[in-house]
Chains A and B, each alone.
Chain A
Amino acid sequence: MAEVAGVEVVRSGGFAGIRRTTRTDGGTLSGEQRAAIEALLDGPVPPPAPGADRFSYGVTITFKDGSTRRIELPETAVPPVLRDVIR
């Protein structure tokens, strides 16, 4: 996998239903965070969060070769190590 250039996260849902976009520069990611992103991209589609009013995350990862990958994650599937990135 090419190196991660950046991560864009669109948070939606939650009680308020307010949309929020945050961006993280690939250069600021730790090795652990890169590994966690790769694991998310290779892993199975996570199950939806139980209950109601949780946040939903649309995560777009841009690589240095210009390619992109997009995944959808419920709040309950965000690995602890990525909580500063996917928030």
Chain B
Amino acid sequence: MTRLFHACPFCTIAPPHILRRLAEAGGPAEREAASRTLDMTRQLRTARMRAMALGAPAVPVEAALLGRRMSGARSTYDADHRTRLPGRLVRGEADGASGDPAVDEAHDYAGITRDFLRQVFRRRSLDGRGMALASTVHFDRDYDNAFWDGGQMVYGDGDGQVFQRFTLCLDVIAHEFAHGITQFTSNLVYFEQPGALNEHFSDVIGCLVKQWHLGQDAKDADWLIGAGLLVPGINGNALRSMSAPGTAYDDPLIGKDPQPAHMRDLYHGTEDQGGVHINSGIPNRVFWRVATEFGGQAWGTAGQVWWSAFTTMLNARASFADAARATIAAAGTIAGTRAASVVRAAWQEAGVRVPAGARVAAGSPAGAPARPAATTGRRAKAAKPAGGRAAKPAKRAAAKVAKPAKRAMGKVAKAAKRTMGKAAGPAKRSMGKPAQRAAGTVKTAHLPTAAKRGAARGGKPAAPRPTR
């Protein structure tokens, strides 16, 4: 297997000065192209963006080049208090501050999240291929929400009675961003336990981005989601607490934080898609427990374990027990058996039973839950970046897993490789050497994911455009 990454988790794929120079090359044509693209249906739009990112000739050459070089170019829109998406383009990647706090927060925080993902998890934008990032602010009137619509991020201004504008918090923006990543990886069904895991992963990324941005260790962080979003006067300091689920707010106007921290309090009702924002409290607390037990920065070992499990090891219908098995196995692969025991204990403490059969040697394929073999290769690779003490056993274990997976990938991956190679042609030729290396790296790194997606989603109809 070729060596894809070096071990330092803080090095960007392309040197920042090159990225900066390329970003400045972005002109109105590129922004216009992005705007046109967003007007199409979700499926068409995603395909178009991908084509753009790969340098296909469907868009002007400059745009294609920019899309290829500037991974995750941002476009931020204003809905002007209506519900039509994406709205009016107000700030492109290369533009300075607009002066509208909502626009600038959405734009800047999306940039921080994009940088975090590239530097810490080597993820190029949402889809792993540098997909353009669209955000819309001022959605609807007095809208008390932020959401991911399947293709972009959307933020309301809040009603001013309970909520302030949803762009205020970096973790809220990173949370929405992470829904995009989930869609392109595990694609966890947004209902009951898989839906709560989907929510949980978004909260984890939200917290990690905030802590990374603040340079905080796990023990110094507040572990709150949406701190400062409630207007002063509402009795609450955030919307959720990962360290103490159920304690974020308690106010006559909005009720009490309903999140459980243990399986005995699992919500079984039908509201909120079967409690996706309620039951996420259980895995949330598990992550807090693991991150604080590991110590240091939560985006280090704990983050790498969760990232590996949630982006490469879970299937769309995963339960809490599946997530437990996956994170225990990932911890064993990445950081050794002692780390795996910490993760196991944290899930057990939350009342999630991990069947005895799941106790396997670190990194052995049986440690992963039942899932397509094609993704195992990526898991092995994802395991590599964990630096420091744990790296050695992880490497050995990863190599063990990688072989059968490689064989199993077979036809799908090869087909994906062919398609991508073709599309990447023109952009590749026009790039400088470092960029070329970076592009090659990323493309190869994400092949198994692409293959998995193709296999799992073939023929899935495009989701309807949410216009409300």
Contacts and interface: CB of A to CB of B under 8 A. Distances in A.
A13 B276 contact: yes
A46 to B, nearest CB: 10
Given A13-B271, A58-B270, A50 B149 contact: yes
Contact of B147 (A12, A48, A51, A78): A51
Given A17-B258, A17-B277, A58-B270, A76 B147 contact: no
> Interface on chain A toward B: helix, strand, loop, or mixed SS?
loop
Contacts of B464: 47, 50, 76
A53 B273 CA distance: 10
Interface string A48-77: 111111111010000000000000100110
Contacts, number: 99
Interface in A8-60: 10, 12-20, 47-56, 58
A87 to B, nearest CB: 10
Given A47-B464, A51-B179, A16 B271 contact: no
Contacts of A13: 271-273, 276-277
B202 A52 contact: yes
B125 to A, nearest CB: 17
A12 B258 CA distance: 12
B145 A55 contact: yes
Contacts of A10: 271
Contacts of A20: 254
B463 interface: yes
Nearest to B251: A18
A10 B255 CA distance: 14
Interface string B447-468: 0000000000000000110111
A19 B255 contact: yes
Nearest to B147: A53
Contacts of A12: 271-272
Contacts of A51: 147-151, 179, 183, 463, 466
Contacts of B466: 49-51, 54, 75-76
Interface string B370-396: 000000000000000000000000000
How large, as a class, is the contact surface on chain B?
35 or more
Contacts of A54: 145, 147, 466
How large, as a class, is the contact surface on chain A?
20 to 34
Nearest to A75: B468
A52 B148 contact: yes
B271 A53 contact: no
A58 B229 CA distance: 26
Contacts of A83: 468
A26 B290 CA distance: 52
B330 to A, nearest CB: 23
Contacts of B270: 58, 72
Interface in B146-172: 146-151, 162-163, 166, 172
B468 A16 contact: no
14 contacts: A10-B271, A13-B273, A16-B145, A17-B278, A18-B162, A18-B254, A19-B272, A51-B183, A52-B176, A52-B202, A53-B145, A56-B272, A72-B270, A80-B468
Interface of B: 42, 144-151, 162-163, 166, 172, 175-176, 179, 182-183, 190-191, 198-199, 202, 226, 229, 239-240, 254-255, 258, 270-273, 276-278, 463-464, 466-468
Given A14-B145, A75-B466, 16 more contacts: A13-B271, A14-B277, A16-B239, A18-B255, A19-B258, A47-B464, A51-B148, A51-B151, A51-B183, A52-B148, A53-B179, A55-B145, A56-B273, A58-B270, A72-B270, A78-B468
